[in-house]
Structure 1
Amino acid sequence: MSHAPRAAVFVDKDGTLVKNVPYNVDPALLQFEPRALEALSALVAAGYAIAIITNQSGLARGLFTLNEFKALGRALQRRLQAAGVPLAGLYFCPHGPGPEGEPTCSCRKPMPGLLHRAAQAHRLDLSRSWMVGDTLDDVEAGRRAGCRSILYDSGGETVWRSAPLRKPHAHVSSWDQVAGVILEEVPTPCV
């Protein structure tokens, strides 16, 4: 018997899930945003799958290797698991932006390629899912994929280029607010 697709919460990594340390691949420097683990644990308990969606242009720029990034990903996954947050997956774009900061591929946010890839791999219902990120590129990626989007304002957005796809469904400044928006405004998803 096949299960219906699940809802998910897609989370940007740097500046959203963990403190932004530019081009970090040292697990010792991973520091979660305040109350992120508790909020994600509550979302998992409500039936949401959790997936990390992240641009990692440091790979294209030669600032770290794929093996170094994968080791960081494994450390992050272990720490989430220890906090009761199983990770459906960590999806990353290894490409750099174009000369004007535009995506040069379908996987670099604000394009929705990584969300589509995660949804297909894990049978996730994008129309019942959320994208949480600290930039309007995250918001736009979520909206392009058919999700609702939350702008987690940790100071990551510096350009504030406005467009209809860049308008978040919610603009918050804490992980408690992230969980509150998702759990209060959306019926608990079927598991």
Structure 2
Amino acid sequence: MINVYAPKKALGLLGVLLIMCLVAPQSAQAASITPFVGDYHGTSIDNAEEELQARDLDVKIKETDRGGFIIDWSTVIHKADGREKNVSLSIEFFATDRPDIYGSAMRSGLFGKRVPNDPLQGEPFVWARIVDKTLTVHALYITDDGGYEMQVYERSLDEKGDMDLVFKRFRDGEPIRDVTGNLQRQSKY
């Protein structure tokens, strides 16, 4: 015997599924690096144990053709005795399966592919995330005694497109350094 109600039930079920697809939350899409792309220059103040030290900062952010980006940054630390310490770093980040989270590719692996560092070898494990107008880079180090050090760079865009920097360094959960600064956008790519 043929059930004449089956097509109506199928259409009803199809309608319910269609409505569920329309009202169900869509999967999140990764935030774009595009607003951050450009060259920035500025200064910061380091407030470590009430010793204030000025730093000159340069940051360059470029998109890659593989859905990621590269951050180049350099810092000149002006010491109280007149010496200067120069620190620079370049990190390539790639999109992951998790929205808004980017992995780092800081060295070449066995077959030439760019891979993350190994924190068990004393190298920093680095990742980035974008939330609203803030690009945050985390660097995790495993110390020689088995503890950890975490460095966090929060780079937020203001309404003019300039960058506010908040840098924090922790050792075994205890804060040991904080730096704030403002960098003006020099150019966009």
Tell me, yes or no, whether TM beats 0.5: no
More helix by share: 1
Larger Rg: 2
Higher relative contact order (CA 8 A, sep 6+): 1
More strand by share: 2
Question: Normalised by the size of structure 2, how large is the TM-score?
Answer: 0.30
